[in-house]
Amino acid sequence: MLSGGTQRLSAHRLDLTWNTAMALPHKARRQAAEAGVTNGVIAGLKHLTDHLDAAPGLIDYHRRQAPTSWTLPQDDWKLLSASLPTRSTRRFGTAVHRHTATVLIWMEVTQGHHRRAPVVQQARAERPGTRSPLQVALSETAYQRRTNRAWDLRPIAVHLDTYAHELAAEVDERVRGNSSARQSGV
């Protein structure tokens, strides 16, 4: 908005509802005025926008979220899951684990929320009104990660993070027009 965009356009780019977008500036102005720092906040925001406009190599997270049908390729999943210990007590099958890994990678690449991942939205559409095994697995994984408990994909967490960082770099290279990035389906 500082560079001339509308509040509605900014809300759309930030993926905010219109009501939230309308309320945020009012609340921020009120809090800045109460603290007596309105001019400082405006100057700081202007400085930030100038800095971001001049910065090289910014990441376009909107473009990273553009692929709407990406899932972790089966061959890559086989390589990543090869180091998972075999256990007979797993609650979910390999397909759910692969989709969970897909969501974890998608979240790292896009810096987005797991509910917006394409495989989660597809699972919701297939089972309206009920939670799919993927959604249950993601809820449990999120809780287990937050509380630092053992979770099914923990043994390969570093590999998933590495895969996500490499995939993000490939997407960024493709966005910049470098055709040497390997095809990964994103």
Q: Per mean pLDDT, which range of 35-39, 52-56, 97-101 is the poorest?
A: 52-56
- Tell me how far CA of residue 158 lies from CA of 34, 81, 83, in angstroms: 46, 12, 11
Please tell me whether residues 111 and 155 are part of one structural domain.
yes
Residues 51 and 78 occupy one common structural domain? no
Q: Do residues 67 and 48 share a domain?
A: no
Q: What local confidence, expressed as pLDDT, does residue 180 receive?
A: 44
Nearest-angstrom CA–CA distance, 77 and 93:
13
Report the amino acid identity of residue 137.
Answer: A
Is residue 86 classed as helix, strand or coil in its secondary structure? coil
User: In this prediction, what percent of the chain has a pLDDT beyond 90?
Assistant: 6
Is there a single domain that holds both residue 29 and residue 73? no
How do residues 77-132 score in pLDDT, each as one tens digit?
A: 888 888 777 764 556 667 888 898 898 888 888 877 777 788 888 888 888 888 88
Integer Cα distance of 126 and 155 in angstroms: 30
Query: In the chain, how many domains are there?
Result: 2
Domain extent for 76: 62-175
Least Cα distance to 32 among 23, 21, 40 occurs for: 40
Same domain, 50 and 73: no
How confident is residue 184, by pLDDT bands cut at 50, 70 and 90? very low
Residue 183 placed within a domain: no
Q: Are residues 97 and 150 in the same domain?
A: yes
Query: How sure is the predictor about 163, in pLDDT bands with cuts at 50, 70 and 90?
Result: very high
CB 119 within 8 A of CB 177: no
Is 78 in the same domain as 124?
Answer: yes
Q: Please name the helix (run of DSSP H) or strand (run of DSSP E) that holds residue 176, with its range, or none.
A: none
Phi-psi map region of 90: left, alpha, beta (phi>0 left; psi -120 to 50 alpha): beta
* DSSP per-residue codes, 120-156: HHHHHHHSTTS--HHHHHHHHHHHHHHTT---TTGGG
Within this chain, do residues 149 and 71 fall inside the same structural domain, yes or no?
yes
